[in-house]
Amino acid sequence: MTAFWILGVVLVASAVWTIAARKPVYSVVALLLNFAALAVLYVTLSAEFLAVIQIIVYSGAILVLFVFVIALLSSGVQPFALGPNRLPGIWRPAAIVVLAGLAFLVFAVARAPLPLPPVTGPVGAPGVFGSIADFGRALFTIQLLPFEVTALILMVAVIGVITLGGEQISEPTRRHEARVERAMREAILREGKG
Amino acid sequence: MLVPIGNYIALASVIFFIGVIGVIVRRNPLIMLMSIELMFNAANLLLIAFARVWLQNAGQIFAFIVITVAAAEAAIGLAIIVTTFRPERFVDVDDVRSLHG
């Protein structure tokens, strides 16, 4: 219970920091905090494999990608502007709607406190809920089709990124080739004259 | 001792709302992408919490697939940002007008 409240405060605070930070680098740091707290929360929900995946994939891969892009885009460029408010007129009704929704949610939560059943057995042992052995077995037997679809999604992403980035790589090459071709043509012309 | 599921629902919705506000209000595409990641994570938290309630790991496997989709989305989104904003001197989504009708 205590762990949930501490992690909840950390999660909400870091999420607010993520969207409110002036510079994207601070957003990345806040998001890193958010992901770490979420990984701890996954452990308390006996999703051990997903906690590890959260750290490796999100904090290790995605956030590093963000940092790379920030470094790539902001070299020699002034800090990104915060920009003017995009919701000049409707922020007041929007805030009322959001607060009403959250109040309804808290009301519903207080009315129906469905408790979590306890997990019996040693943590992480095969056959106990949330163990990595069970997760892997389900992933490669019952849930094999979604797992294969995951591979397809990653394939599409890789092809998309290559398609998007490839043009940029080939642009200087194309210019270089044009320059070489022009030089050769001039050389041939000069030879024909001489 | 154990936290009821409602608390997880409330926490996940608060994080999701914060992500929505980030996407709507911020104009920096990087921070918009990070807000989308926040929303992915709120959905993941709910999936894992409900997997825990019913003691079925199908929810955890779906959360795993959501993480994969988030990784693909981040890769493609960042590639789009790099290809779009590299020639310009600043980063602002409202300055991208190539697809205006």
In chain B the beta strands, taken as DSSP E runs, fall at: none
Residue B10 lies in a domain: no
Q: Give the pLDDT of residue A84.
A: 52
Q: What ranges do the domains of chain A cover?
A: 1-78, 143-194
Residue B20 lies in a domain: no
Contact A49, A135 (CB under 8 A): yes
- Alpha-carbon gap, residue A125 to A136, rounded angstroms: 13
- pLDDT of B1 > 80? The answer is no
Whether B76 sits inside 8 A of A161 (CB atoms) is yes
Q: Give the pLDDT of residue B91.
A: 58
Residue B96 lies in a domain: no
ipTM of the predicted structure?
Answer: 0.85
Half-sphere exposure of B36 (CA within 13 A, CB side): 19
Place of tokens 């996940």: B12
Q: Between A84 and A22, whose confidence is greater? A: A22
Q: What are the pLDDT digits (tens) for A19-56? A: 888 888 899 999 999 999 999 999 999 898 999 999 99
- pLDDT of A125 > 80? The answer is no
**A1-78, what's its fold?**
Four Helix Bundle (Hemerythrin (Met), subunit A) (1.20.120)
Domain total in chain B: 1
- pLDDT of A176 > 70? The answer is yes
Q: What are the pLDDT digits (tens) for B12-42? A: 988 998 898 888 887 788 888 999 999 999 9
> What's the whole-number average pLDDT of chain B?
85
- pLDDT of A190 > 90? The answer is no
Interval A75-81 mean pLDDT: 47
Interval A64-86 mean pLDDT: 66
Write down the number of H helices and E strands in chain B: 3, 0
Q: Between A125 and A148, whose confidence is greater? A: A148
Q: Between A158 and A171, whose confidence is greater? A: A158
DSSP code, position A47 = -
Chain A, 170-189: which have a CB under 8 Å from a chain B CB?
none
Whether A109 sits inside 8 A of B38 (CB atoms) is no
Q: Give the pLDDT of residue B86.
A: 65
Give the percent of chain A with pLDDT over 90: 34
For residue B48, name the pLDDT band (cuts at 50, 70, 90). Answer: very high
pTM of the full structure: 0.79
Write the burial class of residue B15 (CB in 10 Å: 0-12 exposed, 13-18 middle, 19+ buried): buried
Q: Give the pLDDT of residue B6.
A: 82
> What's the whole-number average pLDDT of chain A?
82
A95 Cβ under 8 Å from any chain B Cβ: no
A151's enclosing H/E stretch is helix A144-193
Q: Between A100 and A109, whose confidence is greater? A: A100
Interface test with B, best of A12, A45, A163 (most B CBs within 10 A): A45
- pLDDT of A158 > 80? The answer is yes
Q: How far is CA A142 from the centre of its chain?
A: 27
A139 Cβ under 8 Å from any chain B Cβ: yes
Backbone angles phi, psi at B15, to 5 degrees: -65, -40
Q: Between A121 and A98, whose confidence is greater? A: A98
CA-angle at A37, arms to A31 and A40, nearest 5°: 145
Q: Give the pLDDT of residue B74.
A: 92
Interval A56-62 mean pLDDT: 90
- Alpha-carbon gap, residue B38 to B18, rounded angstroms: 8
Q: Which residues of A touch B33 (CB under 8 A)?
A: 66
Contact A4, B3 (CB under 8 A): yes
Q: What are the pLDDT digits (tens) for B83-98? A: 877 655 555 667 667 6
Lowest-pLDDT range of A63-72, A116-125, B2-11:
A116-125
Q: Between B44 and B29, whose confidence is greater? A: B44
Whether A164 sits inside 8 A of B45 (CB atoms) is no
Q: Other CB atoms closer than 10 Å to residue A184's CB: what's the count?
A: 10
Q: Between A125 and A141, whose confidence is greater? A: A141
B13 Cβ under 8 Å from any chain A Cβ: yes
Residue B63 belongs to domain spanning: 29-89
